[in-house]
Amino acid sequence: MVYKEPLIKYKNLPSFAQVTLITQKKRILVHVLSYLPELRGKEMQIIEEPILLKDVCIGLKNILKGSIKRIYCGSSNRNLNYRIEKNYIWFTIPGISSYEIVVVET
């Protein structure tokens, strides 16, 4: 499916970070990767230290069928507050150290 607007919008996320969505029957998984590999030699990439990101704000286009039951961080099971604004579901991840998964349940 092609959308006129992006599926993901974000604030406080560096350009090297990656956000990936996986849709399942009654939930969407939002994967956020934040690491900066350094090329050592011809083929080896090394991650020296995790990069801590704070207050990353994600806007997810509301493609869900049904109301939202819960949004939470998969690593800690911590609920995240959210708001719906202009057909986007906005939530803030308080801290990411290399990787976080956010689960949006319907």
What pLDDT, in 10s, does the model give residues 25-49? 889 999 999 887 777 778 877 777 7
Work out the mean pLDDT of the chain and round it to a whole number.
89
Residue 1 inside a domain? The answer is no
Query: Residue 1: its pLDDT value, please?
Result: 64
Does residue 3 lie in a domain region? no
Q: Is 52 part of any domain?
A: yes
> In this structure, what CATH number is given to the domain that contains residue 34?
2.60.40.1180
Whether 57 is in a domain gets the answer yes
| pLDDT band with cut points at 50, 70 and 90 for residue 81 | very high
pLDDT of residue 5: 85
Mean local confidence (pLDDT), 72-91: 95
Cα distance between residue 59 and residue 92, in whole Å: 9
pLDDT of residue 66: 75
Residue found by looking up tokens 């090297």 in the block: 16
d(C-alpha 73, C-alpha 46), whole Å: 27
Structural domain count of the chain: 1
Q: What residue numbers bound the domain in which 28 lies?
A: 8-105
Identify which of 104, 100, 99, 77 has the alpha carbon closest to the alpha carbon of residue 89: 104
* In the predicted structure, residue 11 carries a pLDDT above the cut 90: yes
